[in-house]
Amino acid sequence: MKHDLKNLSLEETEQLVSSIGMKPYRARQVAQWVFRHHAVSIDEMTSLAKEARTRLGEVACISTLTLEKIAISRDGSRKFLFKTADGYGIESVLMPEKTHWTLCISTQIGCALGCKFCYTGTLGLKRNLSVAEILNQVSAVLKAGEFQEKLPNLVFMGMGEPLLNYENTLKSLKILLSPWGFNFSHRKITVSTAGITPAIKELAHDLPVNLALSLNASNDKTRTFLMPVNKKYPLKDLLKEARSFPIPARKRITFEYILIKDVNDAAEHAEELARLLNKIPCKINLIPFNEYPTAPFKRPEEKQVLLFQAILHQHNYTAPIRMSKGSDIVAACGQLGASITAGR
């Protein structure tokens, strides 16, 4: 079986090219063709001699995802539906901001966590994405857009729990950040988690990236109801890791709080949340629930969302209301997977 160059670190690429008689320094050229120039075939690597390309092609290949569809929202968001080699669907969303784009990518097909507000969780976990499948989402979108001057921000907030696919998530992050890879700044990448506390600790040790914690409740009872993962990793453990997580200069931890009517949107919940996050340098993104077909919850009234925000402001928290983009194309937070078939 040929080696997929999209799955390889620079060291692994060096070993591969050395094994076929090429100089190790050629590995950097190969990696840059794959990750910076988004080559889809080894024949495109014109800085390598034809004979070297032939030898490399005998042992290696460059994978891609099949782009099935791009859906465009009224707000300018674009949802990319990709098909894997074994027939599963992956969704990624490119969202316009005031000064940049943000690309939301997936790390799993489906999700095992079963959060009650998220459609992806209703699919169950089909499998983890490989390093190549994670990175191919980025390559495809970068190749389709005009990002030469300014790379988009990346958020690992799509389908799946990134920290339950830790090895592949970490390796893809290292390639995204490496100068021989995609050359993203660590300030442009955010990893979101539902609260896999041992992996948060590992990530803090392994790599400097921005962290977003999907909180969604101000007490264990409500959070366990919404997010079964809280039984294993309760709030006290999650917040302990949040307090010790190394934050890049001038950055804060982000807490994502999905506001659900009559579940976690009351004034007393806002007061409880303010006490819970005391002395953690953070911002709280308030996200009114995005309804989807068969959703068991409702979106709160706007006045209730504003009241919740006002209480947090009174306690000196930064708490922007994030109106999720792409809801008209089923691309908003918690909706991914709703427009695709979950099986092969």
User: Of these residues, 58, 61, 91, 104, which one is catalytic?
Assistant: 91
- CB < 8 Å & 24+ apart, contacts of 52-60: 52/22, 52/26, 55/20, 55/21, 55/22, 56/17, 56/20, 56/22, 56/30, 58/20, 59/2, 59/3, 59/16, 59/19, 59/20, 60/2, 60/3, 60/4, 60/5, 60/16
CB half-sphere exposure, 188, CA atoms < 13 A: 16
CATH number at residue 42: 1.10.150.530
Regarding whether 48 and 125 lie in a shared domain, the answer is no
Q: Which residue has the tokens 């034809």?
A: 50
Bridge partners of 255? 213, 284
Q: What pLDDT is stored for residue 121 in this prediction? A: 83
> Is the residue at 337 inside a domain?
no
- The 10s digit of each residue's pLDDT in 21-64 is 999 999 999 999 999 999 999 999 999 999 999 999 999 999 99
> Is the residue at 338 inside a domain?
no
Regarding whether 234 and 92 lie in a shared domain, the answer is yes
> Is the residue at 335 inside a domain?
no
Of 15, 44, 61, which residue is a domain's last? 61
Among the listed residues 305, 273, 304, 271, the one whose alpha carbon sits nearest the alpha carbon of residue 287? 305
> Is the residue at 297 inside a domain?
yes
The C-alpha angle with vertex 331 and arms to 215 and 188, in degrees rounded to 5, equals 65
**Overall number of domains in the chain:** 2
Regarding whether 290 and 256 lie in a shared domain, the answer is yes
> Is the residue at 342 inside a domain?
no
Among the listed residues 210, 123, 106, 120, the one whose alpha carbon sits nearest the alpha carbon of residue 158? 106
Regarding whether 150 and 33 lie in a shared domain, the answer is no
Regarding whether 114 and 38 lie in a shared domain, the answer is no
Among the listed residues 106, 142, 113, the one whose alpha carbon sits nearest the alpha carbon of residue 331? 106
Of 61, 83, 107, which residue is a domain's last? 61
Regarding whether 289 and 161 lie in a shared domain, the answer is yes
> Is the residue at 218 inside a domain?
yes
**For residue 216, what pLDDT band results from cuts at 50, 70 and 90?**
very high
Q: Which domain holds residue 261?
A: 66-329
Query: Is residue 333 among the annotated active site residues?
Result: yes
CATH number at residue 304: 3.20.20.70
Regarding whether 297 and 230 lie in a shared domain, the answer is yes
Regarding whether 206 and 107 lie in a shared domain, the answer is yes
Of 31, 61, 91, which residue is a domain's last? 61
Give just the sign of the alpha carbon dihedral 113, 229, 261, 74: negative
User: Of these residues, 104, 111, 115, 333, which one is catalytic?
Assistant: 333
Is pTM beyond 0.85? Reply is: yes
Regarding whether 159 and 25 lie in a shared domain, the answer is no
Regarding whether 74 and 49 lie in a shared domain, the answer is no
Tokens, residue 13? 């690429």
The C-alpha angle with vertex 82 and arms to 324 and 130, in degrees rounded to 5, equals 100
Q: Are 228 and 113 in contact (CB under 8 A)?
A: yes
C-alpha dist (Å) from residue 283 to 152, 199, 260: 21, 22, 19
> Is the residue at 340 inside a domain?
no
Q: What pLDDT is stored for residue 344 in this prediction? A: 44
Regarding whether 86 and 42 lie in a shared domain, the answer is no
- The 10s digit of each residue's pLDDT in 267-287 is 999 999 999 999 899 999 999
- The 10s digit of each residue's pLDDT in 127-162 is 999 999 999 999 999 988 766 567 889 999 999 999
Q: What pLDDT is stored for residue 334 in this prediction? A: 57
Task: Give the percent of the chain with pLDDT over 70.
Answer: 92
Regarding whether 193 and 277 lie in a shared domain, the answer is yes
